[in-house]
Amino acid sequence: MRTLIINKFLHANGGSETYIFKLGEQLRKMGHEVQYFGMDHKGRCVGNRVNAYTSDMDFHGGSKLSKLTYPIKTIYSKEAREKLRLVLDDFQPDVCHLNNFNYQLTPSMILEIVKWRKETGHKCKIVFTAHDYQLICPNHQLKNPITHENCEKCLGGHFMNCVKGKCVHSSTAKSIIGMMEAEFWKWNGAYKHIDKIICCSEFLKTKMDTNPLFATKTIAMHNFVEKVEPKEIEKQSYVLYFGRFSEEKGINTLVETCNLLPDIQFVFSGSGPLEDKVNQLKNVKNVGFQTGEALDKLIREAQFSICPSEVYENCPFSVMESQQRGTPVIGANIGGIPELITDGVDGRLFTSRDSKQLAAIIKELWNNPTETDNYAKACLNLERDELETYCNKLIPIYLGGG
């Protein structure tokens, strides 16, 4: 089978890129052909045979002239259609697997795939993995950046609320563009050509299903986990947070929690805009952004880890990576996080933004190693799809089942 994986970024940038790289690698191991389409970038590490990509679009930089053309390019991209057609004609894919594409690539690509199918008679499926809320919320987060409150006002296609709330970068102008993009593609009907929508949580599926068109196409499949070998380790005396140091990830709440527990040692691994705030805490050791064996060791040796998000997370890799290594997670009871943690069995849940409740749970587990140890054992028995199993479930979806 020939699979064309489409994503706006073809370099390491976030969770969706981890997903597409690992997915393509595994599909090739299973004997399938894989190519990629997206933006060109100096860090691009995957691609296609004809070297056809769209121009790199940096909404936070670039020349004044390029910025003037962005409003049009974020809604419809002639360049994306032309470059994609070169790949389609050469690769002849059996499935186009869309990931993050709005604004930089635009849904105009879907129209080109449909046109190519009609002209060539090639039966190519269109599958979309929803990593966030991009098809139902113009700012992709279901969160207002000004009030910092989670928001569902645009669900059902009421995209004018994006302008009212200045939801795209707190800017009226950018929010108008976001609203226009969403309204244009709702009117155009391009999304009806998507055969299946893979949602990485049941929570995300319920939100996608508020659009009657999507409700007939959605499938909930948690993200895959990479296989890790069991190791004999000795737990150390610290609580771990690893991830981005930002408001939406709950860092402000976690900082308040740390201040309430001065006698407990915390280790933070990551980076982000709130790093200075993290560094001011006396009971926090900031080890910076870690990967590979260093991160693996940090996770395994922690008493437990924290996932304090304040946005509708879907299927955070950090929770599953921690559980896989026998480290229980205290997670915010929001979005898809509760789907990964059974409260009182393999971890604990707390009310998002409630620093006092989080502090109470941390203190309870810190003083009760037997309970934490039971959670750790339960984590190691959790059933999660490893990459090969995930791909075995994906193939029937590619073929039109699921």
Write out the two tokens for 164: 């009212």
Residue 103 pLDDT: 81
Residue 370 pLDDT: 95
C-beta neighbour count of 237 within 10 angstroms: 10
Residue 350 pLDDT: 98
Complete domains list, the chain, with CATH: 2-224+386-398 (3.40.50.2000), 239-380 (3.40.50.2000)
The full 3-state SS of 72-97, as one line of letters, equals HHCCCCHHHHHHHHHHHHHHCCCEEE
Residue 59 pLDDT: 52
Beta-carbon-side half-sphere exposure of residue 365 (alpha carbons within 13 Å): 29
Task: Give the chain's residues under pLDDT 70.
Answer: 58-72, 401-402
Write out the two tokens for 143: 């969160």
Rounded to whole angstroms, the Cα distance separating 67 from 296 reads 42
Rounded to whole angstroms, the Cα distance separating 240 from 272 reads 16
Residue 68 pLDDT: 47
Rounded to whole angstroms, the Cα distance separating 362 from 330 reads 8
58-95: pLDDT as tens digits: 655 555 544 444 566 788 899 999 999 999 999 999 99
Identity of the amino acid at 206 = T
Rounded to whole angstroms, the Cα distance separating 398 from 390 reads 12
Residue 401 pLDDT: 60
